[in-house]
Amino acid sequence: MSGGYPQEKPTEPMAVQLKDADVIGWHTMYWKDGQAKICFRPGGHLYCSKPEYQADSTWLIVDGEVIIDWKENGKYVLTIDKGKHMNGYVYPKNEEDPKNWRKTLYASDLNPVDKLLLGDGSGSKWNFQHPEGNFFVEFKADAKNEFVNPCPGKATWSLSSNNKTVKIDWGKYGKYELDIDVKKKTLDGDLQTEGWGGDKDWRKAVLSHGNEDHGAGHDDGGRGHSILLGLDPEVLPGADENKADGHGHEHGPGQGHGGGHGSGGGIISIGNLSVGSSKFMVDREGQVLRGTETTFGVEHLGEAKGFGGFTAWLVDGNGEKVCDPMEGEKHDNHSHFSLVPTARDAQGFVLSGGSQTSKISFHHGASPTEGGIQSVLQTSDGKHVGFIELKLHDDAGDLEMWICKDGAMSEPLDFPESTTMTVTFPTHDNRSVQLAVRNNDKNEDEDGNPNMRDGKTNYFIFPGESDQDPEFLIGDKFRSTTTVTFTAEGAKYIAPPFVLVPHM
């Protein structure tokens, strides 16, 4: 089973050979529910003017097609339609989905200010000057407009609507606006935050030509980064420490819920495999599309034995490699493998421990649609019959589960309303909870959509009207190996062990 989507077939490269210059510039992307202004930047970064859609997004040209990896917002395939306009779809292509299409209208080339700040795609370096001295900074040409500087914390840059002023949001160090002189390649402005700076609020910058020392500059004997910026540390507001992004499960607009900018992201548990005497749980994050990176998570099931010497790669339907073998990034008893296929028909994930290897289907096209974790569903003898999606709400510890025949989660796989699902958490003292229907009438989900069909349903919840305690499931740090088992109409079903983390 390919997960509900037709497998992408290899085709001959298009006769028209696209170049980066055919794509670089400002476009407006349209989809069923909205639009956004985007910029295909030199160097392969895709910038979106709407902050809610900004991610570490990239683009590249493969076989005459423009491939966009918008991270949590999905992956896209576009082709030139007319001029520099483009048409395409959210990968994988699904012509039955009215939200699957995408199109762009070309707006303009990069303007002189864009070209000055973006450079060849790596951004631009500047000698940043203030009343107390100077140091070097960078305006990055990435998808998030990072402003790199010697001070700790996040900082970003943006342009004014008239493209004549660059705005710097320096976090706790304030906000700045500097006018741009393209001919002289200089910036001139001041600190905008009220109550700071006084007569020392001016700031200037000169474009670097790459020969200067790009160090962090002086810090005046350790007087702090406020002094480095020429600020009085007594007037700096307090700021929370930056919080690291753990391996949570926060979803962007590409997950198919809340308006849906894209589709096809999320975490999909593709099943368990054995290499030698070790057994592993395997999941992937996002779709597998040629030329783009997909991360596979591999975790020991049972006693951890380490990941020394393990490599992984992808294969096509004939078992031929379609990417280079890669070593994983190790994290205790699990490892992440970031793989980039070079062919259209990648189908399987291979894990190797020296002379022993094992292969598993990564279920082309499968993806969660409700913000949960998706897993394959099998009968007791290991036959693949469908997919579940289990969603844990971190604020209340409640669970929702959907069961479908296909990986697109569009064809319900219904079971009698009396069925109860047992969800077990081996890494939490084997505690288990039971999921049941919300009611025997319509069995509505949290959005009020009915899920009852002739006394059967594919939707189950916890705790519902039961007196089960959800306390141990509450919190954004929850993480556990999880299994789902149930019996219906004389048959036994299981979702093999997978890692559950909450939807936040």
Q: How do residues 73-82 score in pLDDT, each as one tens digit?
A: 899 999 998 8
Contact 1, 384 (CB under 8 A): yes
Q: How do residues 410-422 score in pLDDT, each as one tens digit?
A: 999 999 999 999 9
Evaluate whether residue 259 is within a structural domain.
Answer: no
pLDDT at 226: 64
Neighbour-count burial of 324, counting CB atoms closer than 10 A to its CB (0-12 exposed, 13-18 middle, 19+ buried)? exposed
Q: Which of 310, 416, 295, 289 is nearest to 364 (CA)?
A: 289
Total structural domains in the chain? 4
Residue 151 vs residues 81, 171, 503: alpha-carbon distances, Å: 45, 10, 33
Do 101 and 132 fall into the same domain? Answer: no
Do 96 and 125 fall into the same domain? Answer: no
Do 51 and 104 fall into the same domain? Answer: yes
Evaluate whether residue 4 is within a structural domain.
Answer: no
Q: Quick one: what percent of the chain has pLDDT higher than 90?
A: 75
Residue with more model confidence, 170 or 11: 170
Say if residue 355's pLDDT is above 90. no
User: Which structural domain range is residue 151 located in?
Assistant: 114-231
pLDDT at 193: 84
pLDDT at 6: 52
Do 463 and 415 fall into the same domain? Answer: yes
The per-residue DSSP string of 217-255 comes to ---TTT--HHHHTT--GGGPPP-PPPPP--S-----GGG
Last residue of a domain, one of 231, 256, 278: 231
Say if residue 145's pLDDT is above 70. yes
Q: How do residues 193-205 score in pLDDT, each as one tens digit?
A: 876 656 788 999 9
Say if residue 251's pLDDT is above 60. no
pLDDT level of residue 34 (50, 70, 90 thresholds): very high
pLDDT at 371: 92
Do 399 and 341 fall into the same domain? Answer: no
pLDDT at 354: 81
Residue with more model confidence, 384 or 235: 384
Last residue of a domain, one of 80, 95, 110: 110
* Mean pLDDT for the stretch of residues 171-182: 95
* Mean pLDDT for the stretch of residues 385-403: 97
pLDDT at 59: 98
Determine which helix (DSSP H) or strand (DSSP E) holds 202, and give its type and residue range.
strand 202-207
* Mean pLDDT for the stretch of residues 84-113: 95
Neighbour-count burial of 263, counting CB atoms closer than 10 A to its CB (0-12 exposed, 13-18 middle, 19+ buried)? buried
Say if residue 39's pLDDT is above 70. yes
CATH, residue 305: 2.60.40
Say if residue 3's pLDDT is above 60. no
